[in-house]
Homo-oligomer: A and B are copies of this chain.
Amino acid sequence: MEILDKPLWNELEKSIHEPARLAIVTRLCAEKAGLGFQDLKSECGLTDGNLSRHLKVLEEASIIHLDKVGKGRKSHTCVKLTPDGREAFLRYLYSLEKVLHGALDALEINSHDLPSALPLAVS
């Protein structure tokens, strides 16, 4: 269980943990063929500049690969998860699950009961 030696929270890969990037990676992991910049932008509800910046971070972390075809008006950037990226994402999700269950244990509720434990119960 060496994964628990370090505090669990340090396992949460920062490059993925940021909400916008979590959205990006989640969306990408379902698309083996990759996704265009514009599609990703609208599906994740991000601005151009914002998406651009986040993609740069993810690319520098070798989590995604950018394939830019053409230039100027006709350019098209295809964003794809790398094998390493997918692996990192799996690890991230595993850590996330442990964090989540740790919290639910501490609260002594099981995930099944979570919605009803909320103040304004969600339909």
Contacts and interface: CB of A to CB of B under 8 A. Distances in A.
Contacts of A27: 106
A19 interface: yes
Contacts of A89: 103, 107
Nearest to A17: B19
Contacts of A20: 9
Interface stretch (A33-41, A57-65, A66-74, A110-118): A110-118
Interface residues of A, number: 42
A99 B22 contact: yes
B93 A100 contact: yes
25 contacts: A1-B122, A7-B44, A8-B23, A9-B22, A9-B44, A10-B19, A14-B19, A17-B17, A22-B99, A26-B103, A27-B106, A29-B103, A29-B106, A29-B107, A30-B106, A90-B117, A93-B100, A93-B103, A94-B115, A94-B118, A96-B96, A96-B99, A97-B100, A97-B114, A100-B100
